[in-house]
Structure 1
Amino acid sequence: MSTISPPDFTAERFARAPEARFEPAPADGVLPEGFFSTTNLPTYVRLGGRWRMPREPRMDGALVLDAEGGLWVREGRRVRQGERVAVGQAEDGSEGIYVHASWLAGGAEGEFKFMTSEVSREKPIDYARMARLLVEERARGGYPVWVTGPALVHSRARVDMTWFIANGFVGALLAGNAVAVHDIEASIFGTTLGMSGSGEATTGGHGLHMRAINRVRAAGSIAQAVEQGLIRDGIMHACVVHRVPFVLTGSIRDDGPLPDVVTDNLAAQDAMRRHTMKATLAVMIATALHAIATGNMLPSFVTGPDGSLRELATICVDSSEFVVSKLKDRGTHQAFGVVTNAQDFLHILRLCVERELAARSSPIAASGRRG
């Protein structure tokens, strides 16, 4: 995992840089002309002769200075009339705002770029590296956010995803209505969209997902359906039993939906954002829209308790190169792509994580570390 060296603010160009300029928002949800549009990279704002980092960083936001002197990144819709918003477009510090991009591979200092992806299904997949990242995050008490699509359930990766949740590798699960519906259908009826575990359509199976939704709605919630014994295994069961928070967001095509689904898009953004703000690692599997949405909410870095920065490892998995490339093309520079199907990815990753855990707990490995 890459550590990020801080800028040298003793350099003359930083010492001579002006203070950042702020202008009041003209109305609720309206930013002043010339506002600074944030990126997901480490950003510093010169205030009172010091370079400060805003809280809750993300791309596509505004820099807001509150009445107590706190500096925040805020979505435009959340800015209120009269709040002070940073203005300027330069990212090199010449207008009091510096975007630290030189640590990126091939990055030009002070410049945030789109369309820089290099993804290919012909590249080798370093499962051992990903396994180390997951094990290290669990060891340090990190907050890995997993973003999943329904193909994960259909492809028989459900058992492996359940294992990751049960064993402490998932801090929060972000998904859509379909992931939960198909997982719950599998628990109740043993099918997903009426398809058996062997991949065959079942008689009358087309209505089973609707019957699953109806039963959960009758129970009141997913958690209550677990408590009542209606949902006995699977991804949502593991989330409830192991108290892993989940956010299910709705879409126009949803059936039902389940009672836990957030159907208001802006409320769903806020619900997801509460977890992306805490994320220390992100794993996105088989979901284009959720992956890009989450990527837009994530900073590219994690701030340690001592103020140090490190890269926020972001893994994007899809059977299509298009999805993996699209995430990077939308500004999530730190993501590394895996072009494969969900079933193979999760099963091999689980084996590698188990191997990594065994290696770390073995006497030989422990002796080697002491030496």
Structure 2
Amino acid sequence: MTVARTVELEGHIIDSGIMQQCFETVMEMGGNFDVEEFDVGRHKDAESYARLRIVADDEETLQSIVHELHQIGVNPTEPQDAQLEPAPEDQVVPTGFYSTTNHPTQIRVDGEWWDVEDMEMDCAVVVDRETGTATTKVLNAIDEDDLVVVGEAGIRVDPPERPRDGGGPFGFMQGGVSAERPSESLIAEVADAMQETKDEGGKILAVAGPALIHSGAGDALAALVREGYIDGLSAGNGFAVHDVERGMYGTSLGMDIETLEHPRKGHKHHIYAISEVIRSGSIPEAIEDGKIQEGVMYECVQNDVDYVLAGSIRDDGPLPDTISDTVEAQNAIREQAHEADMVLMMSTLLHSVAVGNCLPSTTKVVCVDINPATVTQLLDRGSAQAIGMVTDIGTFVPTLAENLLGDEAGEETGIYE
């Protein structure tokens, strides 16, 4: 005896590969399907529609197939209201709770579809009938008696689709990860996308690793902060220490950025820099004391650009500004991520994945690293919208700044000397 369920998918399901992925998923998981209806869009703006009958040998297999299909935007034809159960206690969700994707999601409550706010992956969905809202919550934020969505009934997921013409401000970003595409032309297109984001009133978040400073690209990023192209910075203690050391001593990990030489006792500069900031009390106070007069952190403070420095077990110091509590750091990163319309991830695997986990799939992401594995891991973790550029960060950031600020502005900031 077999069991069956009817599902449907619509949109640019052919161009985006969703329909093929649907077929492959069903067959790989031991099911079969019948295409009951298939309407193909006849021009580039037209959407397609397909209705499928999924068949499996038992209910457990069928449910597993439907679960996987749901993650890519395949939904039941006869939706029911979402099942809601109260959380039994703080930080404890009901068994079988719905674990979110990072795609735009709706849930059906009392016969109406509600948009789920603050979308990010690996969360629960909590419903508040009094305010008429549904929102994501990480597990450690669950309160006792929160109404949590359980199962997968009454839930619709809408993954982003690839446009047929590859158009739009991010139309150039259709090639995944490549080290062979021309870097200069791609960087110019990233600059155009950033400019369009700013022109539309959007916010750009920079996620940066210490290699950015060590490669000599710090002045270029500082210039982008100063000129208003960066609205937030997400980094670790190491990035800030490198940058502060550069501002105080002209070195990064003891190496002179200009001459590439290692001055005597230069290896102690990073710990000296940390000590001086601790002595002042914080990075802003060290700037006020005149100890730091340039750099990315300097420009963030001077231009009221929000920054989050998340700590790790490896941190020297750490700086007073670094958030050492993991949960507190996650919450600060999450708040930044939810406000971003575009994210530049530059030479940092750990922070790129951390921020990527908090982003909805509608946020534009450019990940730049000399190691293609960084972008691959980001994609594997679920940030499928990320576009990778495999290039030297010391080339990328100054070239990006040149495209956005122009030669004259670049000369004034000294980033091309």
**TM-score band w.r.t. shorter chain:** 0.7 to 0.9
Matched-pair contact (CA < 8 Å) for 2:160–2:361: no
Secondary structure (helix, strand or coil) at the match of 2:287 reads helix
Q: Output one character per residue of 1:262-319: Cα deviation in whole Å (capped at 9) or x when no partner.
A: 0001000011111111111100000000000000000011xxxxxxxxxx21000111
Secondary structure (helix, strand or coil) at the match of 1:53 reads strand
CA separation in 1, counterparts of 2:89 and 2:162? Answer: 37
Which of these residues, 138, 148, 158, is aligned with residue 85 of structure 1?
148
Task: Please identify the structure whose Cα radius of gyration is greater.
Answer: 2
CA separation in 2, counterparts of 1:206 and 1:96? Answer: 59
Shift of 1:31: 1.2
Secondary structure (helix, strand or coil) at the match of 2:299 reads helix
Partner in structure 1 of residue 178 of structure 2: 120
Matched-pair contact (CA < 8 Å) for 1:118–1:325: no
Q: Output one character per residue of 1:185-232: Cα deviation in whole Å (capped at 9) or x when no partner.
A: 111111111101222222111111111111111111100111111100
Secondary structure (helix, strand or coil) at the match of 2:197 reads helix
* Cα distance change on mapping 1:232 and 1:102 into 2, 3 Å: closer
Matched-pair contact (CA < 8 Å) for 2:176–2:387: no
Matched-pair contact (CA < 8 Å) for 2:242–2:253: yes
Partner in structure 2 of residue 191 of structure 1: 251
> Does residue 308 of structure 2 align to residue 247 of structure 1?
yes
Matched-pair contact (CA < 8 Å) for 1:64–1:86: yes
2:247 maps to a residue whose letter is: S
2:133 maps to a residue whose letter is: G
CA separation in 2, counterparts of 1:67 and 1:228? Answer: 51
Aligned residue runs from structure 1 range 127-166, under 5 A: 127-166=187-226
Shift of 1:138: 1.5
> Does residue 134 of structure 2 align to residue 71 of structure 1?
yes
2:365 maps to a residue whose letter is: T
CA separation in 1, counterparts of 2:48 and 2:340? Answer: 27
CA separation in 1, counterparts of 2:316 and 2:147? Answer: 43
2:79 maps to a residue whose letter is: A
Q: Output one character per residue of 1:29-79: Cα deviation in whole Å (capped at 9) or x when no partner.
A: 111111111111111111222222111111110110125232110001111
Greater mean alpha carbon deviation, residues 47-56 or residues 275-284: 47-56
> Does residue 97 of structure 2 align to residue 39 of structure 1?
no
Which of these residues, 233, 236, 240, is aligned with residue 180 of structure 1?
240
> Does residue 411 of structure 2 align to residue 348 of structure 1?
no
Matched-pair contact (CA < 8 Å) for 1:183–1:234: yes
Shift of 1:329: 0.9
Secondary structure (helix, strand or coil) at the match of 1:260 reads coil
Gaps of 5+ in 2: 1-15, 17-44, 52-74, 165-174, 410-417
1:123 maps to a residue whose letter is: R
Gaps of 5+ in 1: 90-94, 107-116, 302-311, 359-371
> Does residue 376 of structure 2 align to residue 313 of structure 1?
no
What is the aligned residue count? Answer: 329
Question: Quick one: higher RCO (CA 8 Å, sep 6+), 1 or 2?
Answer: 1
Task: Among all aligned residue pairs of Structure 1 and Structure 2, give the percentage whose two residues are the same amino acid.
Answer: 39
Partner in structure 1 of residue 383 of structure 2: 332
Consecutive aligned runs of 4 or more in structure 1 exceeding 3 Å deviation: 13-16, 354-358
Matched-pair contact (CA < 8 Å) for 2:247–2:294: yes
CA separation in 2, counterparts of 1:316 and 1:118? Answer: 10
The RMSD of aligned alpha carbons is 2.6
Shift of 1:8: 11
Aligned residue runs from structure 1 range 214-229, under 5 A: 214-229=275-290
CA separation in 1, counterparts of 2:179 and 2:334? Answer: 31
Partner in structure 1 of residue 70 of structure 2: none
